[in-house]
Amino acid sequence: MASELIYRGPESLPVPDSYTPKPHKPWFTVIRPLRYLLREQRIVFLFAGIAIASLIFAFLPSSRSGGSSYANTGIYDSYLPSESTQSQVAHRIIYQNRVGFGSFNSGGKIPLGLQRKSLRIVVTGGAGFVGSHLVDRLIARGDSVIVVDNFFTGRKENVMHHFGNPRFELIRHDVVEPLLLEVDQIYHLACPASPVHYKHNPVKTIISFLLFITNFHKTNVVGTLNMLGLAKRVGARFLLTSTSEVYGDPLEHPQKETYWGNVNPIGVRSCYDEGKRTAETLTMDYHRGAEVEVRIARIFNTYGPRMCIDDGRVVSNFVAQALRKEPLTVYGDGKQTRSFQFVSDLVEGLMRLMEGEHVGPFNLGNPGEFTMLELAKVVQETIDPNAQIVHKPNTEDDPHKRKPDISKAKELLGWEPKVALRNGLPMMVQDFRQRIFGDQKEDSGKITTA
């Protein structure tokens, strides 16, 4: 009988099928968050939070209304001689209507997520004529502003209305010395814009003028260098306020930004002309070599409230002389021309340049051209029709013509001046009248008391 060999080892295990993933459920990504919200009444708490936030925004004052008492009260109200014409009323609110993004609805309620980020900005020379008006605009926009000024030409009275505002700081400091700050933007305006005319002692005039030149070059060169170094360290955007004087006595009319100028490098005005040209050179070198974000503005003649009364500039000279019943001094034949822009137009241009994407340089001025005799007649019409005009010998290297070509600013910045000379001059006259005769009343009061 044949025997069979029977294998009694472990039976072979079944081979499992190959792995197949679960089918994709496209609706699962939508259902899962809904399940999460529906559990434990989470959706109820969500709507309750939205309702509470809505009540807070509805009944609490907006964050900008607290600062409106410092800058949004219409800073030119006191400069208007009367309210008889609509044009004066329109210029009365010139700053309130030009606040820009971030303040377009300063009286309403802006959701927190839509508010413009507040910047920390330093303004060198911020207590001066142009700087103080720029500070007003920046504070009104909601930014934190640090004013750096040595009060060589600036006045505390120009910024006193911001004292007590937590977003305003004032530092008495000369920019020829280094300064350490943490800021987002730097407006560099620190520089004496016009030498005072010395009249009595010629020797003292020469000595004082030499000292002034030395300090001026320090401010233009060393001060600009310090501010550019600060911008490089903290990554801030830097704006240099240059001048139309870089064109010298121009052979091109009107002057475009591409014109290199006609400057006497050894003349009595060269300290100002060449100092600003050097500042522009330093600014562009920092831009190309250190990748600092820079902006350059070339400012033409500017006038308005808070100008220094006796600083030697033609508009302030004429206005002060007319108010004091003195003859209006015209140097030369009076046929040399200038262009005059109101300070609010300049501030608007500076802010647009800083917030824009173009380096420049940009001409910021009013292309309306006046001879000195025409300007004197406008001052006569505004203040005293009986004011006399006297002629004196012209100053050395005085430019014959000055008129900006602002087509570049119009195209790239969307900027052009709005205030005509005959509309802006009364505001300046009112400010000068208050300061000249107000000071005299105070002095006479002191004498009477004594």
Does residue 272 have an active-site annotation?
yes
Tokens 């900006």 correspond to 404
Q: Kindly name the residue from 272, 286, 303, 331 that is annotated as catalytic.
A: 272
Q: Give the distance between the most distant pair of CA atoms in the chain.
A: 155
Spatial CB neighbours of 414, under 8 Å, sequence gap ≥ 6:
352
Using CA atoms, how far apart are residues 113 and 102, in angstroms rounded to an integer?
Answer: 12
- Tell me if 205 sits within 8 A of 314, measured CB to CB: no
What are the backbone angles phi and psi of residue 239, rounded to the nearest 5°?
Answer: -120, 125
- Tell me if 332 sits within 8 A of 376, measured CB to CB: no
> Taking the mean position of all CA atoms in its chain, how far away is CA 278?
21
Using CA atoms, how far apart are residues 301 and 365, in angstroms rounded to an integer?
Answer: 7
Nearest residue to 244 via CA among 294, 310, 187, 313: 313
- Tell me if 368 sits within 8 A of 432, measured CB to CB: no
DSSP structure string for 87-151? HHHHHHTTTGGG--TTSTTTTS---GGGSPPPPEEEEETTTSHHHHHHHHHHHHHT-EEEEEE--
Nearest residue to 252 via CA among 363, 106, 107: 363
Q: Which 8-state DSSP code applies to residue 75?
A: T
Task: Give residue 149's region: left, alpha or beta (phi > 0; psi -120 to 50).
Answer: beta
Helix axis angle, 270-290 relative to 224-234, nearest 10°? 20
Which amino acid, residue 86?
Q
Using CA atoms, how far apart are residues 292 and 224, in angstroms rounded to an integer?
Answer: 13
Nearest residue to 330 via CA among 317, 340, 320, 339: 317
Catalytic residues: 272
